[in-house]
Structure 1
Amino acid sequence: MSRVITFGTFDIFHVGHLNILKRSAAYGNHLIVGVSTDELNFSKKNRYPICPQHSRSAIVQELKCVDEVFYEESLELKREYIINYRADVLVMGDDWAGKFDEFKDICEVVYLPRTPSISTTELIEIVKDY
């Protein structure tokens, strides 16, 4: 059994999120998703997500391609998450290309292209302009 892990905020869930999760799931037969906590998001982007972590986690958990969900509380714990969830493959968007190569000693690392022309940040900016 091949276990795949990926991470994300998944705020204002859109087709780009769905695409990367479905494509991540194709790398194994058990997909584990770390959903960034509200506090982790604030520390990265200096703003809280629009949707709270329990709502974002609930949406991700309901997807049929997702087997397991947990809260990612710290970027510095990625190695521990990979080990603790016994992941064989780490999948991330290609906007992170090269940034997680340090984990190649414990799992395969794959960077997938993002869905063009959609991002949560862009959606938030569009809504703010109305």
Structure 2
Amino acid sequence: MKEKKIVITYGTFDVLHYGHINLLKRAKDLGDYLIVGLSTDEFNEQKGKKSFYNFNQRKSILESIKYVDKIIPEDCWEQKANDLRQYSVNIFVMGNDWEGKFDFLSQYCEVTYLKRTDGISSTLIRDSLLT
């Protein structure tokens, strides 16, 4: 019996767009089961981010995406190593704007940085709405 290949990624996933969907699809394509660590409102505050949607609203949106199998709250930077062990993760995935920042996690699993989708970002959307 083949063991499931588990993939995990993290993010705020606010003002969801096709770049997010593309990232989630490509992450899921790397394995059999995709876990998304969704930044809590409190953690976003610590990072200096303000979300348009609150945690429960963002979670509800992500739950409707067919590539996402499980959503866990992300409360702090340090929890990633524990999550990788707890969920027996095989592949940790982030966008390439984070390139190199999570290489230290390679002691637990494969670390992969996926190219961002050109021409779209939450910042771009927010900025265009404000102008």
TM-score band, normalised by shorter chain? over 0.9
Query: What pairs up with 1:22-61 in 2 under 5 angstroms?
Result: 22-44=25-47, 46-61=48-63
Please give the alpha-carbon distance, in whole angstroms, between the structure 2 residues aligned to 1:47 and 1:18.
Answer: 21
Q: Which residue of the partner structure matches residue 18 of structure 1?
A: 21
- Kindly provide the amino acid, as one letter, of the partner of residue 84 in structure 1: Q
Alignment match, 2:71: 69
* Kept in 2: contact 1:39–1:48 (CA 8 A): no
* Off by >4 Å, runs of 4+ in structure 1: none
CA distance in 2: counterparts of 1:99 and 1:122, whole angstroms? 23
2:99 corresponds to which residue? 97
1:121 counterpart (119, 123, 128): 123
What's the TM-score, normalizing by structure 2?
0.94
Give the conservation status (yes or no) of the 8 Å contact 1:91–1:109.
yes
Q: Is the 8 A contact 1:22 1:65 kept in 2?
A: yes
Counterpart for residue 88 of structure 1: 90
TM-score for the superposition, normalised by structure 1: 0.95
* Residue identity matched to 1:79: A
Q: Secondary structure at the match of 2:10?
A: strand
Quote how far apart the aligned CAs of 1:105 are.
0.9
Task: List gaps (5 residues or longer) in structure 2.
Answer: none
Q: Which moved more, 1:106-115 or 1:118-127?
A: 118-127
Count of equivalent residues: 128
Structure 1: segments with no counterpart, 5+ residues: none
